[in-house]
Structures are given as C-alpha cells and as structure tokens.
Structure 1
C-alpha cells in the first residue's frame, strides 16, 4: 500500500473532527486493549468492525488481507483500520505473531472506510508500544474520571504520532517507503535486488534508505533478523540451527557470531538466561 496524501488526509480528518467538535478526549472511548501471542496457522476470518482498530506487530510473521490485497506483517508493522473496513489476518507457519491492539470509537466521527499501513524501525515501534501499554490499564483498573482521561490520552497520542509519521515522509519518497516491507523476510535478496524492487539503482537506494532511517539496508536487515531470532529463542522450541535456517543463514556459526556481535550474548546463552 502506498502512503499517499489521501492517507494523510484521512488521519487529519479524524483529528480535525476530534479537536473542532469539542473536547477531544471526551469523544474517545477505549473499548478494549489486547496484547496477544497468537499460535501458528491462526486466522481471523473476514470481519467488519464498527469501531477503529490500531495495531502494532512486535514479533512473528503474518498477513493482513483487505480489498484483495495482502500486506506483510512483521516486527514494526503498524496499521489503523477505520470502521466498516472488511479485513482478515493470518499467521505464517512456524511463527508466533505478537499483536498489540487498541479498539476505540470516536463518537459520531465518520470517515470513509480505509486503512493506513506502515513499517517502522524498532525505536519508532517502541513509542507506540509504550502508549499501548498505558492504554492497557483499561483491562484491569476501574475507569474512574481521572484514569479514563489517561487512557483516552494514550489513544490521542497514538493518532498524533501516526500523523507525524506520515507528515515526516520526504517528498518523492512515498513509493520507496511503500516497498520497504520487501526487506521483511528478504534474506535471499541482495541490496542490489532490493533496490530493483523499489525502482532504484543500488547507490540511490542506499542513499535514500540512509536518509530516511539513519542506517544502511544491510544493517537494517541484520538488526531485523536478530530481533526475530530473539523472539524465536524466547517463544519457540526451534533449535538454534532451525532458527538460523529460518532466518536465511546458511551456516549456524555465522548466525551465532552475528547474534553475539549484536546482543553481546550467544544464542544459547540468550535462551538459557531467559529460561
């Protein structure tokens, strides 16, 4: 999905109605907050919600299906689905999908049915996870007057941060951003091949990537794979050899060496210290 001016207009329409129809926080109603680790072969069949759904993926692999299109889900995937949008979700084999979601309504605010989707780096994702963590208190504590405002404020913070993500995209880079999810699970692709996927020469691709994310595509892929490895070491029974293979490493030794370089700990040591 391309992140376009139309999608920026969608979230600005939501915020404009929130702020110009009275007290913004009064209009937000948090319905439910979920922090789920879903099993392999799990699927949400096609459904249409009567409220907004905002989700962040912090681990695992899956797919989001809408309008006969498929969007890859992986660490750093963030999406906002408006009411009335039919969608379904499934996990990949051998992958525990970790989803953090908040369901909320905005009073009588009406927007055209749509979805905004984006891939983020981990440091950006953490901001949303922190906001969702604050919202999750709604599951456990009574919503008195003051606590209710704290929870509502978390949702407002999420919407404003999401607008900021779209506002900060450099002009002319929307198509580049829309194809960055090719990096997700692209263990067998070279940087040159990824550049071709995005319609760039290799040098232009690396230059644009560093401009947007402050790191090279190669380092991005390494960090992304190490995050996946940490998740699998923590939540799966896969052997280290199987994890290395699933992440595209031809040699377990190379994987272990790279894991230790990034984390300061061997895969075996990482798993043992968390068991």
Structure 2
C-alpha cells in the first residue's frame, strides 16, 4: 500500500551554500588589491567614499550605495578612491542552474538608484551591522543565512528577467554536465555508506558525464569553462571536497572510508587533494572547530 499516494511534495534540497571572507574596512587612497580571481562570487558594497573596479578591461567607478558583483574565475582588480569604506563578502552555491542564471543574467555594476541595489541594500546593511557583534552565536549565523538567502533570491529574480526561460545550447550542455556529476557523486556516496562499497556503476568521472551528454570532450571543456569559469574536472573535485567536509564532521567515518566513498584510489591521494584545495589535511580539518558559514 502506498501511504503517500495523495501527498503533495516539496523538492529535496541538497546543496552547499557557503559564505566567507565577509568584512568591513576603511582604507587610504593608496589601497590597491592585485589582480586576482576566486572560485566563488564576490560582492562589494560601498558604504562611503569611492572605489574603482576593473573587470574584462572595463573600468567602473563605485560611489556610496553602489554594488558590484564578480562571478567566479573572473580576473579583476579593485582600488580605493577618496575616503573609501566598503563591505565585501564571498558566496558559493553548488546549484548549477542558479550559477548559470547569475553569471548570464546579472551585470557587474549596479548603482544605488538601480532596482536591484535598492532591493538588496537593506540586506547588505544588515549583514554589515553584524561585524560589530561581540561573538558569532548560532542566532547570528542564522541571521546571516537568512539575509544571504534574501540577497540570492533578489539576484535570481533579476537574472531571470534578463535571460528569460530559455538558455543557450552551450549553457544547457554545461548544466546537464554539472547536474549529472553532482547527482552521480551524491548517489555514489550514499551507495558506499549503505553497502560499504560502490556498486557496479562505478565512481563518477568527467568522461562519464561527457558521454552522458553526447558531446566531445574538447567541446565539453570549452563550454563548461565558459559557463562556470572552471573546468569540469575542477568542478567535480570541488564537489568531492564539499562532500568530504560533510563526512569529516561525522566521526563514525574513517578517512580511508571517506576516500573510498568519493572514489579516490587511496587515502594518500585523497589527503593530497583535500589539502591542496582547503589548506588543511583531512585529519586537521576534522579536529578544527567548524563554522558552517565558512569555506576554505
């Protein structure tokens, strides 16, 4: 008997939303950040004064109340004008659909008079006010989650209006690749936890994902990198690292078991990869107090 045959369901939510690098700072006019890029989105909000930003050889001047968003893997540089005080943070989410929409549907620069900037300014100011908290309690962290969610929802609504419901063929191929790798990895880990080994389907790989989509590996690499700013292999590695972090906070799984669940050939290989991406060994990460809003 199906006890839920008349049930109306909500979707399963299985994503990693990370928030990190958030800070407020007043700087002198000679302040310059070297050209850099990040694996996550970067958001800059000017509290007072003036800031200059360069991205893709385009120069922008940000004044008080203006907002700037930099997609993952985009080379950029920022510097100070007069009397600059700013609030900045990074965020990342492993939802391929949302990432594509934000990358394709948002501009870099939004003036204080723009609809999006007006909408997110109260949330940004709320986040900024939290830097003065004497300690970051559970309540503070939940407030950060809530305000960040409001910002992302505003981004989503704005981006959706600009790209519509259709997406380019390249973006669609990239989305399918990303979805396939995430789904396969999740099932692979659950399979190992349930059975103690990975079933006949084997471990997820970029090659499997490319074959699933039915395009050439070269075309897959180019379109994926263009869409997400990261190669398919690095995207898969990032998914594995995020899964590893979730498993490492559970002491009942050994590092060798986590390594096997993620499809690594051995614990040493897994440990090297984990340290390369996080700056800490799996054992050191396991022992370190965890902040669920921080990534490494």
User: How high is the TM-score relative to the length of structure 2?
Assistant: 0.42
User: How high is the TM-score relative to the length of structure 1?
Assistant: 0.45
- With CA pairs under 8 Å and 6+ residues apart, which has the higher RCO, 1 or 2? 1
